[in-house]
Amino acid sequence: MANHCNGKLDYSMKLPTIKFTKLFINGEFVDSVSGGTFETIDPRTGEAIAIVAEGAKEDIDLAVKAARQAFDHGPWSRMSGSERATIMMKFADLIDENIEELAALDCVDAGKLFSMGKAVDIPQVANCLRYYAGAADKIHGEVLKMSRPLFGYTLREPIGVVGHIIPWNFPSTMFFMKVAPAMAAGCTMIVKPAEQTPLSALFYAHLAKQAGVPDGVINVVPGFGPTAGAAISSHMDIDKVSFTGSTEVGRKVMQAAAASNLKPVSLELGGKSPFLVFDDVDVDTAVELAFFSTIYNKGEVCVAASRIFVQEDIYDEFVKKLAEKAKGWKVGDPFDPTVSQGPQVDKQQFEKILSYIEIGKKEGATLLTGGKALNSKGYYIEPTIFINVRDDMAIARDEIFGPVMSVMKFKTIDEAIRRGNDTKYGLAAGIMTKSLDVANTVSRSLRAGVIWINCYFAFDKDCPFGGFKMSGFERDNGLEALHKYLQVKSVVTPIHNSPWL
Ligand code: NAD
């Protein structure tokens, strides 16, 4: 699709026409009550792509009213699971029919690689819907073995109106990680996409309507965190908040939920994941995987393994090959199929990453590769690798959320475990070894919600995902995610017709 323009490749032909920029409430695209709007920015250029309606408290109130009405009186929570599944399957088919446009929206909004969006992110969200559609008619309670002559059983009922607050790094994936299981459970919902990436979420709202999702079941309200987001977490008529984002904001969401109607919250938060490379591995493979584990999606990944621990016997060879790998890595326009890394999502994130690189240098770490911004416009940063990093340095402790890797040397298994666990976070960890003993010992000793052995980013819709420690609690993906949108009701009756037992 690229054009040749003055001898240069021009990928602007891929730019989608932006069709949906208003709030989606009760099945309609509407302006915000205040008439307020905000610009969504193309990180390739720093220029505005579209003007989007800005939702705030009064818009959240309208969306909650619609979702409440749809839950309390509408068909969605009352229809059979297989009827919900039929609509969800249709929704998934419509996503498949619009893959290119959706991938292009995430590309211009978030700087994500168009090729990855087309091949991975968007097809996977359609499959996520299909996975939970398959579960919608298999929601069972249990028959209880009571200790007295009572007949008891449990029902699993939808929790009600859910508020989903999501980040910008995987706009489509995050949307459906939340929306698909909540739909299957029979909930109604309000989704607040991140202010950086509202475009695909609004397109999904349009497709939901086309698929036959009843009005009020999915409401999408773009807006800012302290206004629209806070209005969700403090709302008295929302029954659950499902949040993915930073640990700092997660804490605020939990406080607001506690201070309002004590709604349950699930938190998927930040990380600073360790990747432990033992000396029995093939070094070339380890270098490929370690590099990918940090730099994939320009390092804007909650599970990014930005702390790479390498056992001392292979350390020198590993570092030499890692530097070569970084030098061959192409950063540029995410529409260009030969590019491996696009721009950071926005100016704020770009500046935060560059400031951490400066901190790393000042703290005395050695810059092995990268360290600089690229291009005169847009938010591009070279893949950056530090060596001689101490565990107490800010670059080894804080979540940078950018293409910045710290490489450290270790001697023993115990040391690797201790240093891997030396973080307030506990989202993910990677282990590379040929030894089953080492893999078993280390995987059971690391305190993280997911452990990848001889692989990384091995996500699957059937595999629960979430954090330990300050990376949050409850799980996305798998049937665990379905259960977080259900609540258990116990029903008891006497067997012998006597009410007083
Ligand atoms: P963020 O916490 O700044 O924002 C996340 C969402 O919360 C956005 O929609 C934002 O508008 C909203 N928000 C901000 N302030 C709010 C408030 N006071 N009340 C309610 N909502 C508010 O995070 P981000 O910068 O968008 O995303 C990056 C962070 O997300 C990183 O820390 C990353 O690790 C984390 N993340 C975690 C996972 C996971 O599954 N654990 C996945 C992706 C990203």
Residue 401 Cα to ligand 1 middle (Å) = 12
Q: pTM score, two decimals?
A: 0.96
150: left (phi over 0), alpha (psi -120 to 50) or beta: beta
Q: Tell me if 304 sits within 8 A of 294, measured CB to CB.
A: yes
Q: Are residues 396 and 341 in the same domain?
A: yes
Does 476 map to a domain? Answer: yes
Q: Are residues 281 and 264 in the same domain?
A: no
Residue-averaged pLDDT of the chain:
96
The model's confidence at residue 412, banded by pLDDT at 50, 70 and 90, is very high
252 closest CA partner among 273, 226, 272: 226
Taking only the tens place, the pLDDT of each residue in 430-441 is: 999 999 999 999
Residue 231 Cα to ligand 1 middle (Å) = 15
What number is the average pLDDT over the span 5-21? 66
Number of domains in the chain: 2
What number is the average pLDDT over the span 455-467? 97
Instruction: Return the half-sphere exposure (C-beta side, CA atoms, 13 A cut-off) of residue 461.
Output: 23
Q: Are residues 42 and 156 in the same domain?
A: yes
What number is the average pLDDT over the span 455-468? 97
Q: Are residues 482 and 447 in the same domain?
A: no
Map tokens 């030969």 to a residue.
Answer: 338
Q: Whose alpha carbon is nearest atom 12 of ligand 1?
A: 225
CATH code, domain carrying 146: 3.40.605.10
Does 235 map to a domain? Answer: yes
Bridge-based pairing of strands 23-25 and 28-30 is antiparallel
Taking only the tens place, the pLDDT of each residue in 72-107 is: 999 999 999 999 999 999 999 999 999 999 999 999
Q: Are residues 440 and 473 in the same domain?
A: no
The model's confidence at residue 4, banded by pLDDT at 50, 70 and 90, is very low
3-state SS track over 216-241: CCEEECCECHHHHHHHHHCCCCCCEE
CATH code, domain carrying 344: 3.40.309.10
Q: Which residues pair with 381 in a beta bridge?
A: 373
Q: Are residues 169 and 122 in the same domain?
A: yes
Does 495 map to a domain? Answer: no
Residue type at 240 in one-letter notation: K
The model's confidence at residue 3, banded by pLDDT at 50, 70 and 90, is very low
Does 396 map to a domain? Answer: yes
Does 16 map to a domain? Answer: no
Q: Are residues 227 and 174 in the same domain?
A: yes
Does 126 map to a domain? Answer: yes
163 CB under 6 A from ligand 1? no
265: left (phi over 0), alpha (psi -120 to 50) or beta: beta
Does 103 map to a domain? Answer: yes
Taking only the tens place, the pLDDT of each residue in 247-262 is: 999 999 999 999 999 9
Does 23 map to a domain? Answer: no
| pLDDT attached to residue 496 | 84
Known catalytic residues are 268, 302
Q: Are residues 69 and 139 in the same domain?
A: yes
Poorest-pLDDT segment among 1-5, 13-17, 152-156: 1-5
Q: Whose alpha carbon is nearest atom 35 of ligand 1?
A: 245
Q: Are residues 303 and 400 in the same domain?
A: yes
Residue span of the structural domain in which 241 resides:
30-269+467-488
Q: Are residues 95 and 38 in the same domain?
A: yes
Q: Are residues 384 and 398 in the same domain?
A: yes
348 CB under 6 A from ligand 1? no
User: What is the end-to-end Cα distance of the chain in Å, rounded?
Assistant: 75
Taking only the tens place, the pLDDT of each residue in 46-71 is: 999 999 999 999 999 999 999 999 99
Residues 6+ apart with CB under 8 A from 235: 60, 61, 64, 163, 260, 261
171 CB under 6 A from ligand 1? no
Report which of residues 371 and 9 the model is more confident about: 371
CA 274 to chain centre: 19
402 CB under 6 A from ligand 1? no
